[in-house]
Amino acid sequence: MLSKYLVNNTFLKHLTLDYNAIGNAGCLTLCQGLGNHEGSGCLEVLSMVDCGIGPEGVEALAELFLNAKCILTTLNLKGNFEVGMAAVTSLLRGVRESSMIEGRMTPTIGSIDLHDTFKSVDKEIEADFAKALVDVLDQHPTLWELVLTGNALSIEDGKAVLEALRNNRVLSSIPVDRDLGELYDEINSTANSNMGHRLKSLKKGAAKKKKK
CATH number of the domain that 33 lies in? 3.80.10.10
Question: What's the average model confidence in pLDDT over 10-38?
Answer: 92
Alpha-carbon distance 133 to 185, whole Å? Answer: 20
d(CA 3, CA 7): 6
Distances from the Cα of 152 to the Cαs of 31, 134, 144, in angstroms? 27, 16, 21
pLDDT at residue number 8: 77
Q: What does the pLDDT read at residue 48?
A: 98
What's the pLDDT score for residue 69? 85
The tally of domains found in the chain comes to 1
pLDDT band at 212 (very low <50, low <70, confident <90, very high): low
Q: State residue 40's pLDDT score.
A: 57
34, 62 contact by CB (below 8 A): no
> Considering the entire predicted model, what is its pTM?
0.91
Measured distance CA(1)–CA(16) in Å, rounded: 16
pLDDT level of residue 100 (50, 70, 90 thresholds):
confident
* Domain region containing 160: 2-211
